[in-house]
Amino acid sequence: MPRLVVRSFTISLDGYSAGPRQSLDEPVGKGGIQLMDWAFATKFFNTMFGRSGGEEGIDDDFASHADDNVGATIMGRHMFGPDRGPWDLNWKGWWGENPPYHHPVFVLSHQERESFEMQGGTSFTFVTDGIESALQQAFAAADGKDVRIGGGADTVRQYLKAGLVDEMHLVQVPLLLGQGERVFEGLAGVEDRYECNEFTPSNRVSHLRIVKKS
């Protein structure tokens, strides 16, 4: 049965997944890019960006399997870009002409925008009528595969609060960020519905698998 999953979602030791004041120069907010050092060091990410080298091992294994059986992605508007208010229609994401998704992507927004397609099979559809609508459209587009929540923290938080996430892979970095966006903010009671059933440390980070309680 298709599931709603979160994969390789990185948080700091104090629970932040992005720093404050996102901008074109700092897409993960002030100081937030440090959270991704573990990923940039892997062979998988180096290969993705056309570079040689990179580390193999636990982190590389998790990174390379993050898109397994994923047929569509849901993300928030601030993961798609730094815009606030009306859309800059020239902006088509952080990823260039060939984004790394290669499947339909559904962007949650309060501002309407026409869908468009990119190279490599990625399409962007903008959903203004809520998380349930985005999920229904994503499952239909995924054609029997899983749907992945790409981020950011607010989007993951909304789906967790609604109890719609089936499995979540968190990567915890031994770094204190101090401020920004926290995925578990305001989620009292989440412990009644979810539990951590796997803890895998590497030399750089800890990989946590969180699932719905049976």
Predicted pLDDT of residue 102: 96
What is the amino acid identity at position 152? G
* d(C-alpha 61, C-alpha 44), whole Å: 8
- Strand stretches in the chain, DSSP E: 4-11, 16-18, 70-76, 104-108, 116-117, 123-127, 146-151, 167-172, 181-182, 194-201, 206-212
Predicted pLDDT of residue 84: 85
Predicted pLDDT of residue 143: 95
Residue 32 backbone class (left: φ over 0; alpha: ψ -120 to 50; beta: rest): alpha
Q: CB–CB of 170/9 below 8 Å?
A: yes
* pTM of the shown model: 0.95
> Can you give the residue ranges of every domain in the chain?
4-83+99-212
CATH architecture of 4-83+99-212: 3-Layer(aba) Sandwich (3.40)
Predicted pLDDT of residue 50: 85
Predicted pLDDT of residue 214: 85
Burial readout 125-159 (b: 16 or more C-beta within 10 A, e: otherwise): bbbeeebeebbebbbebbeebbbbbbbbbbbbbbb
* d(C-alpha 82, C-alpha 13), whole Å: 25
**Residue 58 DSSP SS3:** helix
Burial bucket for residue 33 (CB in 10 Å: 0-12, 13-18, 19+) = middle
Predicted pLDDT of residue 48: 85
Predicted pLDDT of residue 54: 95
Q: What are the Cα distances from residue 6, in Å, to 24, 153, 156, 183, 207?
A: 25, 11, 8, 12, 12
Predicted pLDDT of residue 53: 94
Predicted pLDDT of residue 49: 82
Consecutive sets of 10 residues in the chain, 214 residues long: mean pLDDT of each?
97 95 91 95 91 95 96 96 89 93 97 96 98 98 97 96 97 96 93 96 97 92
Predicted pLDDT of residue 83: 84
* d(C-alpha 64, C-alpha 66), whole Å: 6
Q: What is the DSSP letter of 125?
A: E
Closest CA to 36 of 62, 61, 8: 8
